[in-house]
Amino acid sequence: MASNPIATLRTWFDEGEHLVFLTGAGISTESGIPDFRSASGIYSRGVNTNVFDVGAFYQDPSLYYGFAREFCDITDRAEPNEAHQAIAALGQRPRKQVTVITQNIDDLHQRAGSDPVWCVHGNLEWSKCLSCGARLKTVELMDVIRRGEVPTHDCGGIFKPEVTFFGEMLPERDFSESQRAIAGADLLVVVGSSLTVYPAAGLPFGRSRKCRYVIINREPTDQDHSADLVIHSTAGDVLHAAVSHPAE
């Protein structure tokens, strides 16, 4: 059956009613956003591996904001690619519920038009004052961040982006909605994730017996053996080919 994996995927997209996509950094690298752990990733470029460590942030927020100064410009300039667009296009089809769960902190799925998008590692869109809890769009802080300063609230507290740092709890609602969507899915597609960062990587274990499981990733993952279809390729090519063909 998997002699032509794209054709198989196309059929499963046509047949599925409750589709869930779990996406990682690999889907956004094609938009020019570097991942963190690969050979060409952010950590390999001399960026301190503690930039997303919550303890390090409380000790010295300028470590993160020095990094964010460049990273936010990259995410601002990035555009959704064929993979984001293909997933959003599936969501427009009649009688199909398409849920996106992403480990990414960019907003490319939202900008492509997907809804709902659950952000299990939070998102850069909002920032929160650590003293009084006031929330502000991160874009409103960008002038300060670009000047190389740490953004502070009127109350004197420091702003932290609503991104889940290492050492923090995952966003409760996004995570529980993700679990619920996967439990009810008849097709689960992992895209561009090496499935190594837990607990997000454990989400696929909550799928039902009737759920088909597809993994699209450039490199092998720890869960390839348990998937019904594995495609080691770039997400944009695969999803564009599988979605652009009109449904029978």
Catalytic center residues: 121
Q: Which of 34, 41, 157, 184 binds Zn ion (CB under 5 A)?
A: 157
Q: State the Cα angle at 232 between 165 and 180, rounded to 5°.
A: 50
Residues 6+ apart with CB under 8 A from 193: 22, 23, 24, 25, 26, 103, 200, 201, 217, 221
Q: In terms of CB distance, is 160 or 212 closer to Zn ion?
A: 160
Q: In terms of CB distance, is 159 or 175 closer to Zn ion?
A: 159
| Minimum distance, C-beta of residue 141 to Zn ion, in the bound complex (Å) | 13
Binding mask 127-156 for Zn ion (x = CB under 5 A): --x-xx-x------------------x-x-
| Minimum distance, C-beta of residue 145 to Zn ion, in the bound complex (Å) | 17
Binding mask 72-111 for Zn ion (x = CB under 5 A): ----------------------------------------
Q: In terms of CB distance, is 2 or 155 closer to Zn ion?
A: 155
Q: What is the separation of C-alpha 215 from the centre of its chain, rounded to a whole number of angstroms?
A: 15
| Minimum distance, C-beta of residue 136 to Zn ion, in the bound complex (Å) | 9
Q: Within 13 Å of residue 212, how many CA atoms lie on the same side as its CB?
A: 18
What residues line the site for Zn ion (CB under 5 A)?
A: 129, 131-132, 134, 153, 155, 157
